[in-house]
Structure 1
């Protein structure tokens, strides 16, 4: 990869990080349009305040639509429309039951 290409990609990532909270609000809006009871959380290094410039942003959407693979895929596709190709967001989708598993690893999380 050329230095110039790397620089352009890094600049796009920085732009995405600058508008991160706006993106998170859009994700929440899209999730609650699909399921009014859906919840959206940021966890991992961003929630802990230990993120590095190259860290992804772990976002967990909890919805009962994720109780089936078909439902999970539908949610992923709908929410994927909100994210740009350069978004640092790593999208996780879980049912309420699956959320219990995530809680084992989520030492800090922020509800959007």
Structure 2
């Protein structure tokens, strides 16, 4: 069960920062205290079902998205894949096609 709670909190932080939303802004939309959001994000508290729905609405996501996986981890995996594999292959293709061009 703790994995779901940790994923929820990681996703809450991830989606909130993606929206460039402060804890204060999120708390205003959710009609709760800033300390409530802060307590959740610091892993001291866990929201009620009603607050989970309000948070999802405020972040414009489905409530399940807060629990399914760690969205920030998935993003890191994609970024690592691009940095380690795709960009290297792309550089090789450009150097092969345009031998005088240098990709740096």
TM (norm. structure 2) is 0.29
Greater Rg by CA: 2
* Structure with larger RCO (C-alpha < 8 A, sep 6+): 1
In proportion to residue count, which structure has more strand? 1
Considering fraction of residues, name the structure with more helix. 2
